[in-house]
């Protein structure tokens, strides 16, 4: 059995690897809010278990075994988030924190039952893809909202899950995955976005927009 800390390291390496290939000790340490020396220590431990590859000064990479573990934890986390939201009505800004604790203790049996209850879903309440039980991650090709031009219509695909204040803010505009909106105006000099959501106007700051990923659509369905 792996410790909770080891599982957290693997999960973090996976997520950082997604964004930018090799994961340096420093980046990993910063992400986990520990000192680089601590990260080096855990990396050595994970390497001895053949869960990561690592050569000094070259950064870490997950091995196939390590990736499998990381994906399993991520699957736990995202299924739990969706289950807590759908089955127990936990608001979407609260599920992350709860899942963070439960993901390390839930059994495969209970996970399978939640999966079945939910109808084998492919995304959590924030739009993040849920790996299947073999570790296959559903493909997504969303783009950052900050790349969207004036007049373009889009649908929210995914938002960051770990900042509950941000999630409450997005919720107040109904900016959940699946929600359509049109960009009315992008203020110059990296200014805020004015958007139209189902007839309501809203102003979304750039720092907020960075946490929103969307798919472009040709026209908005007017419901």
The tokens for 165 are: 């204040």
Distance CA 121, CA 113 (A): 12
123, 159 Cβ separation under 8 angstroms:
no
- Asked if residue 37 binds DNA (CB under 7 A), the reply is yes
Q: Hey, what's the torsion of the CAs at 48, 50, 54, 59, to 10 degrees?
A: -110
Query: Taking CB under 7 A as the rule, does residue 104 contact DNA?
Result: no
Q: Of the two residues 114 and 180, which places its CB atom closer to a copy of itself in the complex?
A: 114
Nearer to a copy of itself, 88 or 222 (CB): 88
Closest C-alpha among 57, 202, 186, 76 to residue 131: 76
What is the contact surface with a copy of itself in residues (CB under 8 A)?
A: 84, 87-90, 94, 98, 101-102, 105-107, 109-110, 113-114, 117
Name the binder of 113 from a copy of itself, DNA, none, CB < 5-8 A by kind. Answer: a copy of itself
Rg of the chain in Å (alpha carbons): 19
Give the nearer residue to a copy of itself in terms of CB position, either 31 or 117: 117
Instruction: Give min distance, CB of 84 to a copy of itself, in A.
Output: 7
Element (H, E) at 54: strand 52-54
- Is residue 159 close enough to count as binding DNA by CB under 7 A? no
36-48 vs 4-20: helix crossing angle, rounded to 10: 100
Report, in Å, the least distance between residue 54 CB and DNA: 6
Min CB(60)–a copy of itself separation in Å = 28
Q: d(Cα 111, Cα 174) in Å, to the nearest integer?
A: 29
Binding at 15: pick from DNA, a copy of itself, none (beta carbon under 5-8 Å per type):
none
> Where along the sequence are the contacts to DNA (CB under 7 A)?
3-6, 24-27, 32-45, 54, 56-59
């Amino acid at each position: 059995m792996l410790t909770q800390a080891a599982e957290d390291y693997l999960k973090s390496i996976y997520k950082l690897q997604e964004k930018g290939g090799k994961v340096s000790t420093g980046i990993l340490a910063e992400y986990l809010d520990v000192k680089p020396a601590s990260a080096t220590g855990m990396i050595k431990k994970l390497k001895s278990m053949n869960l990561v590859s690592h050569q000094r000064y070259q950064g870490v990479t997950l091995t196939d075994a390590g990736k499998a573990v990381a994906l399993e934890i991520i699957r736990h986390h995202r299924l739990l988030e969706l289950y807590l939201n759908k089955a127990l009505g936990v608001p979407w800004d609260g599920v992350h924190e709860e899942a963070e604790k439960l993901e390390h203790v839930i059994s495969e049996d209970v996970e399978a039952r939640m999966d079945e209850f939910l109808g084998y879903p492919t995304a959590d309440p924030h739009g993040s893809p849920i790996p299947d039980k073999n570790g296959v991650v559903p493909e997504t090709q969303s783009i950052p909202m900050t790349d969207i031009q004036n007049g373009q219509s889009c649908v929210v695909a995914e938002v960051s899950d770990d900042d509950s204040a941000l999630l409450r803010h997005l919720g107040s505009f109904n900016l959940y995955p699946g929600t359509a909106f049109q960009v009315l105006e992008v203020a110059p000099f990296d200014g805020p976005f004015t958007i139209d959501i189902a007839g309501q106007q809203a102003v979304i700051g750039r720092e907020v927009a960075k946490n929103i990923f969307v798919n472009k659509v040709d026209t908005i369905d007017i419901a």
